[in-house]
Chain A
Amino acid sequence: MTIPSNAISFHDKQIALAHGAGGEASRRLIEGLIRPAFSNPILDGLNDSAVFAAPAGRLAMTSDSYVVRPLQFPGGSIGELAIHGTVNDLAMAGARPFGLTSTLILEAGLDTAILRREITAMADAARRIGVPILGGDTKVVEHGKADGLYISTTGLGIVDPRANLNVARIQEGDKILLSGPIGNHGIAILLARTELEIEADIRSDTRPLTPLVIALLDALGEGLKWLRDATRGGVASALNELARDLNTFISIREEAIPIDDPVRGACELLGLDPLHVANEGQFVAVVRAADAEAALKALRSTPGGQRACLVGEIESGQFGRVLARSSYGGTRVVEMLIGDPLPRIC
């Protein structure tokens, strides 16, 4: 359908409770800012639900929410995080994104320039990936109750027919791959909070992971057994979850894990373990041992995958633990993240 020629424009300077009340102000916000930014045939109708024919095949669905502070940081902002994060959850199921919805919780008093920037960031990220935003909701809460802006999403994806991702298929000897350097996102956020007077050129690694996952499916098919993105809690938490599910040891070689020098320096200074720092553009994969070489080759020849590496393997054991072995023979346990050293990271 075409948008009527007496289209509303949105010039309000700041968000007020009225913008969430469902009346004139709400209409201005949705029709003047949100619809033009996200425009697609399904969204444009502004109906209570998005209606579409069910796509064929197995479907994947995910929900996600974003409360990151500050809203904007080196390498990205909350809007991009929301789109990439949702798409990545789908990618970890071997799915290409079909459509998203997004809920915005706005704080009364929010400068609309900031909202406009984030809506644009979401629209641009979604457009680059080729996924439509099919619907959403907008609420406004009193000043002081939302820290600017919270975003919550739901994503629907179509699982690639070659994907057979199942923890039950993992065996002793399977190899663990990491898509690239860790720690960039969490440290970028921490430094952007400017509570610390540390300067470093560290940027969030937020990006869509779908192309890397498709590359693995192209090269390995069923040889790809398991995927998990290393977001909150970092690589350590992702692998600990796996170890507990499998009830076996997982070993990693610490020296094999790529970490950019400034990130390593910041972690050393702050007493943070990079394995526990959140990422927004990295994942771990478990592949059949015989396919590890081909997997690395596929990742490394895909844009963004050049620093993919082999970091560990599944060992036998009677309980679920992640062990890090150093090249000089020392072994230590890598625990799940305890507490919250870096709150509001994504």
Chain B
Amino acid sequence: MHYVDEFREPKLIRKAVEEIHSIARGLRHVRIMEVCGGHTHSIFRFGLKDLLPGNIELIHGPGCPVCVLPSGRLDEGLSLANDPHVIFTAFGDMMRVPGSKGSPLECQARGADVRIVYSPLDALKVAQQNPDRQVVFFAIGFETTAPSTALTVLRARQLQIPNFAVYSNHVTIAPAIRAILDSPDLQLDAFIGPGHVSTVIGCEPYEFIARDYGCPVAVSGFEPLDLLQSLVLVLRQLRTGTATVENQYGRAVTQTGNPAALKVLSEVFEVRPTFEWRGLGSIPGSAFRLQAEFAPWDAEQTMPIERVSVEDPITAPCGDVLRGFLKPPQCPLFGKSCNPEHPIGALMVSSEGACAAHFKYVPRELSDVPMGLVQ
């Protein structure tokens, strides 16, 4: 199967692993952050951590747009779903995320009209098919998904559809990475650069990581070989003391990104002065909202949203896990009061959440199960 089997080819994987071991012998302990939640999941799903030498530590980054959303924002969006007139739509990934009054699925079980859509255009179709109801699309994601939301808003305007509104929680990746780098309690040596968001924004937005902080970056694909090759690239840079941004995901990512997507972003969205991130606090210039001319399709302008400020539970260190300060198993709630069926925070249910990846793929009790390269 194209683009899947080649990047899971065992011989090539062994070769990459051998090279990683060889380069790593000349290094002390290195801490490499994979920003993107999808990378975290791939690393666990393919058992890649077990193949690495002990002096390479992988730190999970905050690249999960569902996880970094403060639960107050979800509560605000869900408050709209309680109106029987409203059809609340969102990606499937949002459905089990716990708000303070329940997840979207729990609201659905109580009678709210909550529907999964695979694309914001599907939400627009729901609005067209239900002219007497108000459809709200809970928009979430980095620059990865923001262009499709933008296109949908343009389509709504073009077709003059009055009963469709976007509640935008789109965030941008570069300010989050900068906030991590500026964090005093985290020492990082290199980055595995995010994959899918880079198809939109290209590699240039990551130059500041190498230039201002001296950390090498390799923008990576999601297959095992992609991630291992990206590790080879950054490890080589660490050995030679260079710091540049390299693109391992050349089959999907270009240096300057996707011009059509970037254009539609700048047409529809503007950058918010500031936005609250779980675990990272308030970050200036880190999120998108609709421009004023699109106010008729902006739920924040047209709909009565109960403003909520919800403190994340003090006992749940979700923010520390998001920043990479804590690994999921180090959280006192992990696997006990917080698990996928009863999640305390989004990290345990999102398909890109670090806690979800750990819980799903890593045996919690195992210490003596034979893992790693079969000799």
Contact = CB atoms under 8 A, between A and B. Distances in A.
Interface stretch (B57-65, B310-318, B363-371): B363-371
Interface in B40-55: 44-48, 50-51
Q: Is the interface of B mostly helix, strand, loop or mixed?
A: loop
B260 interface: no
A323 B1 contact: no
Given A195-B122, A261-B1, A319-B365, A330 B14 contact: no
B360 A335 contact: yes
B1 A329 contact: no
Contact of B369 (A249, A326, A329, A339): A249
A328 B10 contact: yes
A330 B50 contact: yes
B13 interface: yes
State which size class the interface on A falls in. Answer: 20 to 34
Contacts of A338: 340-341
A196 B118 contact: yes
A20 B325 CA distance: 63
B13 A339 contact: no
Nearest to A339: B96
B224 A328 contact: yes
Interface string B216-236: 000000001000000000000
Interface in A322-341: 323, 326-333, 335, 338-339, 341
| Size category of the binding interface on chain B | 20 to 34
A266 B149 CA distance: 23
Interface in B292-320: none
Contact of A329 (B122, B341, B373): B373
A319 B365 CA distance: 9
Given A264-B1, A339-B96, A328 B369 contact: no
Contacts of A195: 118, 122
B134 interface: no
A130 interface: no
B341 A333 contact: no
Contacts of A326: 10, 46-47
Contact of A332 (B47, B340, B373): B47
B355 to A, nearest CB: 13
A319 B50 CA distance: 21
Interface of A is mostly: loop
A137 interface: no
B159 interface: no
A271 interface: yes
A329 B363 contact: no
A321 B1 contact: no
Given A268-B4, A326-B47, A321 B363 contact: yes
Contacts of B373: 328-329
Interface in A56-86: none
Nearest to A322: B363
B10 A341 contact: no
A7 to B, nearest CB: 45
A265 interface: yes
A116 B47 CA distance: 51
B48 A265 contact: no
Contacts of A249: 369
A332 B118 contact: no
Interface in A10-55: none
B224 A331 contact: no
Interface in B223-257: 224
A328 B14 contact: yes
A317 B45 CA distance: 21
B10 A327 contact: yes
B131 interface: no
B351 A271 contact: yes
A319 B372 CA distance: 20
A268 B45 CA distance: 13
Interface string A246-286: 00010000000000010011001001000000000000000
Which of B44, B122, B369 counts the most chain A CB atoms within 10 A? Answer: B369
Contacts of B372: 329, 331
Nearest to A249: B369
Given A195-B118, A264-B1, A338-B341, A328 B363 contact: no
B362 interface: yes
Nearest to A319: B365
B335 interface: no
A329 B371 CA distance: 7
B193 to A, nearest CB: 21
B92 interface: yes
Contacts of B360: 333, 335
A326 B45 CA distance: 10
Contacts of B92: 341
11 contacts: A195-B118, A261-B1, A264-B1, A264-B4, A326-B46, A326-B47, A327-B10, A328-B13, A329-B373, A332-B361, A335-B361
The 5 closest A-B pairs by CB, nearest first: A330-B47, A329-B373, A328-B10, A328-B13, A332-B361
